[in-house]
Structure 1
Amino acid sequence: MAEHAGHQGPEKEELPVEYEQEYVDRGAERLGLQTYPEPDTPGVPAVVVWPAMGVPARFYRPFAIELRNVGLAVHVADLRGTGTSSPRPSRASRYGYADLAADVGAVQAVLKPRLEGRPLLLLGHSLGAHACLLHLASTGGAGIAGMVVAAAGLAYWRTYPRARGVLTLTQTQSVGATAALFGVWPGWGFGGRQSRGVIGDWSYTARHGRYPALNGFDPEPALAQLRTPVLAVSVEGDRYAPAAGLDYLCRKLTAAPVKRMHYTTAEEGVRLSHFRWVRAGGPLARRVAEFASAIH
């Protein structure tokens, strides 16, 4: 079940640092935000990329450059406690999915003045997709032109084949219990060091197949009413968020126009996985640009 970016195949030539590092203050927390140079064409759509659990924003640099090359203005955020965001999760950390969703809104608010009049897309990978969807549920999608869900699912144990599902249930609940016992998830082979609130909410979704309440707000009915266009992308070779899990998640979006695609090794020409697609995202970047153009 280990979920980490790790080694993704043959080393590539190091890409130049092409972004400006910014920060968004969130009380005691500080979120890192990477802003890439604008494309030459003025007024192009913008996209904010939200990473997977425990994966720093810098890991998405190759994909961010691909997105920029197809004509999008690109920003990549660090989730709380990861990468350039601070502080590091500890026993004092209580934040969970509700706070991650609010962080998406905070970054949107910071970017609003410079993106006025331009369509803004959210692109979430794994946990980042859940944070974005929950933000959309809590706001009705205000100010967001479209959402890209990449390699994400609820890890709901009933969406897996029977034996794998039972194993997934056992593993997810063991991680949740460990985080509750220690007051923080130490990052033992999965997801990096995490707040017990994040792990608790994650294990809840794996057990129940639905999102927990966000400070008393039930996001499930709001997701069903959401009308923001969605591009939902599963990835061949993804053991952590298989296509069936994404299909289950998409069924919650009953009112939204959902375009479903499966990103394959044949399309890219290299073997893909839950993380490897980030380093081989050229064709997917073009699909995102087409999606942005269509909703624009």
Structure 2
Amino acid sequence: MRPPLVLVVAAMAVPSGFYRPLVREIESRGWQARALPNRGFERGEPVASRRDDWSYDDEIRAIAEAVATARAEDPGRPVILLGHSLGAQLVAGHQIHHDPADGFVTVGASVPHFRSYPYGGLPVLLMGLAVPVATRVRGFLPQPFFGAPGARTLMREWARFVRSGRPPYDVPHRVRTPTLVVQLQGDTYAVSHSNKIFTDMMIEPSAVTRWVYAKDATPVGGTTHHVRWVRTPAPVVDRVVDWWEGVASPA
């Protein structure tokens, strides 16, 4: 099988340019990669406002368009979607409701339900309660709120996810395509319990390969921090390549 194209779907409020080290590392293995634009956080592009708004469904449809474009450009090349944090939630929605990509990698994925966090999840619950109020007043989520400047509809959907534990889209069936779940050890945003809930809710057990990126496996200067792992991504890319070679090779 030909080397795949990896489309990176960003975490909340993280611009696509942040993923340049990850894209370079993937391409150093002879694969292709690109980070998809993160609406509202790209330089020179409109940010969320009372007039500019979008939803989970809008973002999922943008992923579907990117996958369709990639396949039209090179029909014989497999497409892998790598979803980071919120990006993993969006990719799961894509894989369930659209023609799925050939593979799915999650990094720092979670069901952000407040009850899945330590100490009763009170700080997370407070965010889930504050978002509807702030977006009603301003028409979008303003700084200094987490995820700001955030689109009114998407952030309200996320806040309901936090409060209820129910995703902002139907899950008539779980993801069936091969999926590598990367849990970052010590991740305080996607804690182990919330990551397990995400995996059990969204992905068929037979499709899952799970890997815990341990702190003692990081390179010099590296970290398993929820966001900063991207700066030194070689161990994650190593694992992705090994996993895909196992998926793509004949039994």
TM score, norm. by length of structure 1: 0.78
Residues 33-68 of structure 1 deviation map (CA, whole Å, 9 limit, x = unaligned): xxxxxxxxx941111001111111111111111111
Residues 196-226 of structure 1 deviation map (CA, whole Å, 9 limit, x = unaligned): 111011111111112124xxxx2x223x2x3
Alignment check: 8 A CA contact 2:127 2:159 kept:
no
In terms of mean alpha carbon deviation, does 182-191 or 277-286 score higher? 182-191
Alignment check: 8 A CA contact 1:228 1:256 kept:
no
What's the CA shift for 1:70?
Answer: 2.0
1:257 to 177, 192, 207: 207
5+ residue gaps, structure 2, are: none
Q: What SS class does the counterpart of residue 251 from structure 1 fall into? A: helix
Counterpart position of 2:162: 206
Matches within 5 A, 1:1-296: 43-84=2-43, 86-139=45-98, 142-163=99-120, 165-213=121-169, 218=170, 220-222=171-173, 224=174, 226-252=175-201, 253-254=203-204, 256-269=206-219, 270-296=222-248
Alignment check: 8 A CA contact 1:153 1:242 kept:
yes
2:91 & 2:18 partners in 1: Cα distance?
19
What's the CA shift for 1:187?
Answer: 3.0
Alignment check: 8 A CA contact 2:26 2:33 kept:
yes
More strand by percentage:
1
1:247 & 1:85 partners in 2: Cα distance?
37
Residues 155-214 of structure 1 deviation map (CA, whole Å, 9 limit, x = unaligned): 111111233x1231122221332123211011315223111111011111111112124x
Residues 93-129 of structure 1 deviation map (CA, whole Å, 9 limit, x = unaligned): 3311011100100111221122211211000111111
Flag the 1:167–1:104 CA change in 2: closer, same or farther, 3 A: same
Counterpart of 1:190 in structure 2: which amino acid?
F
Alignment check: 8 A CA contact 1:71 1:289 kept:
no
The size of the alignment, in residue pairs, is 245
Counterpart of 2:134 in structure 1: which amino acid?
T
Flag the 1:247–1:85 CA change in 2: closer, same or farther, 3 A: farther
Counterpart of 1:152 in structure 2: which amino acid?
A
2:180 & 2:45 partners in 1: Cα distance?
31
Q: What SS class does the counterpart of residue 238 from structure 1 fall into? A: coil
In terms of mean alpha carbon deviation, does 58-67 or 165-174 score higher? 165-174
Residues 133-175 of structure 1 deviation map (CA, whole Å, 9 limit, x = unaligned): 1111112xx3511100111212111111233x12311222213
Counterpart of 1:147 in structure 2: which amino acid?
F
1:203 & 1:189 partners in 2: Cα distance?
12
1:81 & 1:256 partners in 2: Cα distance?
36
More helix by percentage:
2
Flag the 1:294–1:187 CA change in 2: closer, same or farther, 3 A: farther
5+ residue gaps, structure 1, are: 1-41
Flag the 1:227–1:85 CA change in 2: closer, same or farther, 3 A: farther
Counterpart of 2:3 in structure 1: which amino acid?
V
TM score, norm. by length of structure 2: 0.91
Name the Cα RMSD after superposition: 1.8
Counterpart of 1:258 in structure 2: which amino acid?
V
Alignment check: 8 A CA contact 2:71 2:77 kept:
no
Counterpart of 2:214 in structure 1: which amino acid?
T
Counterpart of 1:173 in structure 2: which amino acid?
L
